[in-house]
Amino acid sequence: MGQGGERRSTQARDAELGAAVARAQDGDEAAFAVVYRIVQPGLLGYVRGLVDQDAEDVASEAWLEIARDLGRFKGDGAGFRGWSATIARHRALDQLRRRRSRPVIAPVDLHLVELPGPDSAHDQALEALSTERALELVRSLPRDQAEAVLLRVVVGLSGPAAARVLGKRPGAVRTAAHRGLKRLGRQLGASDASDASGASDVTRNGAHTLRQSK
């Protein structure tokens, strides 16, 4: 599927999410389950990238807050992704402060994540990566770049939405994501050039690419 089709799919999913949020705000418990099903994979992947083994607990804390404050949310499906990511990030930072340690970009279980389509040429670098290799490379990025990539690619936020989550200017987040994806592309190219065992064929034809992982 091309970029246009992928974007339409993401927009349709956000429309479904927005409708479910509205019903959940009216007390529909089944609708809240739909909201959870759509949002949780990306949210958990993002939190895991920040707090590693504590991700399940932190995500649970975030969902308790989301459920408590759901009535105060105003916005569409895309806005809800950003709002929930902001809550999850605050809970993750609280956990990191409790640990008194620096954040570590840890493995993201991308088999659980439905990723959006690319919106820049640099996103195409990720399409050529196997899941295992992608995780290794994302973990090697500086934290600001890794978190920007996680929010944009895993959570599926727009540039301005990711900037609101991080409390930074959109331009700074776009730059971090751009540099991170460009760095991933360079590292992939170096890996392909130095691998005489047919790695380039694997990246072209492998069945489990980052964007295909479900």
More confident residue, 179 or 132: 179
Helices and strands per DSSP (H, E), number in the chain:
10, 0
**Cα(131)–Cα(114) distance, rounded to whole angstroms?**
13
Does residue 200 register a pLDDT over 60? no
Quick: pLDDT tens for 137-193: 776 788 898 889 888 888 889 989 999 999 999 999 999 998 988 888 787 776 555
- Model confidence pLDDT, tens digit, residues 99-115: 765 555 555 554 444 44
Work out the mean pLDDT of the chain and round it to a whole number. 76
pLDDT at 191: 59
In whole angstroms, what is the distance from residue 91 CA to residue 60 CA? 10
- The per-residue DSSP string of 23-61 comes to HHHTT-HHHHHHHHHHHHHHHHHHHHHHHGGGHHHHHHH
Q: Which two tokens stand for residue 154?
A: 């895993």
d(CA 59, CA 45): 10
